[in-house]
Amino acid sequence: MRVAHGRIRVVTNERFETLDITGRVQGWLESINGRSGIVTVYVPHTTATIAVNEAEPGLLNDIVDLLKQLTMPGSTRWKHNRIDNNAHAHLSNILVGHSAVIPVMDGRLVLGTWQRIIFIEMDGPRNRSVHLTFIGE
Amino acid sequence: MRVAHGRIRVVTNERFETLDITGRVQGWLESINGRSGIVTVYVPHTTATIAVNEAEPGLLNDIVDLLKQLTMPGSTRWKHNRIDNNAHAHLSNILVGHSAVIPVMDGRLVLGTWQRIIFIEMDGPRNRSVHLTFIGE
Amino acid sequence: MRVAHGRIRVVTNERFETLDITGRVQGWLESINGRSGIVTVYVPHTTATIAVNEAEPGLLNDIVDLLKQLTMPGSTRWKHNRIDNNAHAHLSNILVGHSAVIPVMDGRLVLGTWQRIIFIEMDGPRNRSVHLTFIGE
């Protein structure tokens, strides 16, 4: 049993953007030769978030639209917007979460047919990073 | 320290359905003799989700109602519905999440008095599975 | 590699309240001398929840407001409220989640500049606890 840490850089170009980072997480797993255990995919940010779902372009659009719809209407009353105009992005992170935990077997992420690891930018463009931790064998 | 993986089958009979899988997760934990660590309860699907809360029948109904209320109104504008009529189910998974992480002590899941592990089907009926990973001693 | 468990007590004084517990989680990590791995911060309750975000006072207010806004309107129709007047609190836990998983490196929680671990009470005042599990070296 062992622990391995890694970090991948994510550059976003729009205020709202989704990026499929599955290949990069799988690539990192292979680079450290993780065979069996779990990987945590952790976003050290408060205005971006991470999900595991289908990377169908229409759906990626819908995800951002849903988060806007839930967190932006009435946003003039968010107190955080007196300081910074991004309460919607913080609130989206609260709803979707800051991390994903994914099992690993035989050196592969255990993903269902349609599952992809999706980084969701809600306050870009920014230079972001994703912290990866493998625990296992 | 060691890793153990398992999988339980979940068959759903309705489009929207909740199932309390706590007993099956605890049973699996005993079958592998996991004593201390964590279990990840991971749904390898994009249109079902997992939560840890009270399995009171009225509340289980309310959970599905809330998810419908948040993800279905205005669903004619979801782009994913041009391909498949289940954007609400994907979006529910984005909000609720694809996994639960539960501590294990003395061979038992560390659950509060009212906590149960609840599988939430949002696009059934389907044959589903839940992937379990134990890390510990 | 080893497992360590701990528990911190959280006392809430209001029905809705947020508490920054980052210092207590970091203090516990040091007390067990956890150097590298992950910590799960787990709420064994169904009417409180945990998030990792900025502890700016305006935002903390907005987080509670958003959860009220999403789970309270129309709450007279929640079936759980025939038993107990707190369906909104259960539903907030479903949306935000019951746990946070945070990487640990060099004996420190890996937190971004603005990230804090926030306990969110949605049905206080109550005596609460948070279960901590470290897995690593």
Q: pLDDT tens digit string along B44-66?
A: 999 999 999 999 999 999 999 99
- Helices B87-96 and B57-71: angle between axes, nearest 10 degrees: 120
* Chain B neighbours, 3+ Cβ pairs < 8 A: A, C
What pLDDT was estimated at residue A75? Answer: 67
CA distance A114 to chain B (A): 7
Instruction: Report the alpha-carbon distance of residue B49 to residue B55 in Å, rounded.
Output: 15
Of C62, C102, C135, Cβ closest to residue A78: C62
Closest CA to B96 of A53, C127, A36, A103: A53
What pLDDT was estimated at residue B75? Answer: 67
Of A1, A59, A105, Cβ closest to residue B87: A59
Sequential pLDDT tens for chain B (137 residues) = 999 999 999 999 999 999 999 999 999 999 999 999 999 999 999 999 999 999 999 999 999 999 999 999 876 789 999 999 999 999 999 999 999 999 999 999 999 999 999 999 999 999 999 999 999 99
Question: Model confidence over C69-96: pLDDT tens digits?
Answer: 999 987 678 999 999 999 999 999 999 9
Of B58, B105, B137, Cβ closest to residue C80: B58
Chain C positions touching B51 (Cβ under 8 A) are: 93-94, 98
Give the pLDDT mean for A42-52.
Answer: 98
What pLDDT was estimated at residue C73? Answer: 82
pLDDT exceeds 80 at position C64: yes
Give the pLDDT mean for A81-85.
Answer: 92
Answer whether A98 sits within 8 Å of C52, measured CB to CB. yes
What pLDDT was estimated at residue B117? Answer: 98
Q: What H or E segment, with its residue span, contains residue B26?
A: helix B22-31
Name all domains of chain C by residue range, CATH numbers in brackets.
7-136 (2.60.120.460)
* Chain C neighbours, 3+ Cβ pairs < 8 A: A, B
Contact between C104 and C37 under an 8 Å Cβ cutoff? The reply is yes
Question: Model confidence over C41-55: pLDDT tens digits?
Answer: 999 999 999 999 999
- Which region, left, alpha or beta, applies to residue A75 given φ > 0 means left and ψ of -120 to 50 means alpha? alpha
Interface of A to B at Cβ within 8 Å reads: 1, 36-38, 51-54, 56-59, 61-63, 65-66, 69-70, 95-97, 100-103, 105, 110-112, 114-115, 135-137
Instruction: Report the alpha-carbon distance of residue B17 to residue B99 in Å, rounded.
Output: 17
What pLDDT was estimated at residue C75? Answer: 67
**By percentage, how much of chain C surpasses pLDDT 90?**
96
What pLDDT was estimated at residue A77? Answer: 86
Q: What was the ipTM of the complex prediction? A: 0.96
Give the pLDDT mean for C29-49.
Answer: 98
